[in-house]
A and B are shown apart, each in its own frame.
Chain A
């Protein structure tokens, strides 16, 4: 149990277009999901905390108009990279916590490799 599905796994888009990444909790409800960005062989940088039914909380330095987060249901959060540029190319990962019954840990999606050309 406690599976998080992330889609797509890989996307290539043209500069100036927008890309949506989906994160779904398949067998549990997630009132909170987290979005991370990761550069090659580096740690995960938390971008924002997605809260079901309310606005996301962005980390300092993350442009909220650039990275739109929507958490419309207890099982789905989406990250939209708007007007993408080559510097937005990165690996994006979402995660959610199934709660106390799973030892307070987090389950991660398999990640999305975004390449902006």
Chain B
């Protein structure tokens, strides 16, 4: 079965510093990978995706992610964190063997301090 793992429950970063939120995946075939962000009491907002093509994917709000096939990773990054980036982040993979539904990681809470 397809799966994604986010090894960190929480990431703390100072404002202005670079941030990384980690995600590793386990899939058969080509992975369709996504990052979403969730603010309190809200639904999920799409940040970026990797389907095919360049390994470095640029997304919304200055975020980017690098697809690394050899390490089966898809880490989310941002060069300079903002306090407003504080939220819950989810990595997900689309499971074509189960009707195309999204399989989510456990989520990582990002806290950016001034």
Which residues of A are interface residues toward B (Cβ below 8 A)? 4, 6, 32, 34, 41-44, 46, 49, 57, 91, 93, 95, 97, 103-111, 113
Partner of A49, one of B41, B44, B101, B106: B101
A43 touches B100 (CB 8 A): no
A43 touches B107 (CB 8 A): yes
- Which of B44, B99, B109 has the most CB atoms of chain A within a 10 A radius of its CB? B44
Contact mask for chain B residues 71-110; partner A; CB cutoff 8 A; 1 contact, 0 none = 0000000000000000010100010000111101111010
B43 touches A6 (CB 8 A): yes
Known: A44-B90, A103-B51, A111-B43. 8 other contacts (CB 8 A): A43-B104, A44-B104, A46-B102, A49-B99, A49-B101, A106-B34, A108-B43, A111-B41
B49 touches A41 (CB 8 A): no
Q: Sort A-B residue pairs by CB-CB distance and give the 10 closest, nearest first.
A: A108-B43, A108-B44, A110-B43, A111-B43, A43-B107, A43-B104, A43-B106, A109-B43, A44-B104, A93-B43
Residues of A contacting B: mostly: strand
> How many residue-residue contacts, CB under 8 A, span A and B?
56
- A36 and chain B: residue at smallest CB distance: B104
- Which of B34, B36, B43, B49 has the most CB atoms of chain A within a 10 A radius of its CB? B43
**Roughly how many angstroms separate A34 CA and B90 CA in the complex, as a whole number?**
17
CB distance from B52 to the nearest CB of A (A): 10
Contacts of B99 in A (CB 8 A): 32, 49, 57
**Roughly how many angstroms separate A46 CA and B34 CA in the complex, as a whole number?**
16
**Roughly how many angstroms separate A93 CA and B88 CA in the complex, as a whole number?**
15
A113 and B41 in contact (CB under 8 A), knowing A43-B104, A44-B104, A105-B34?
Answer: yes
**Roughly how many angstroms separate A38 CA and B64 CA in the complex, as a whole number?**
26
Contacts of B109 in A (CB 8 A): 41
- B50 and chain A: residue at smallest CB distance: A103
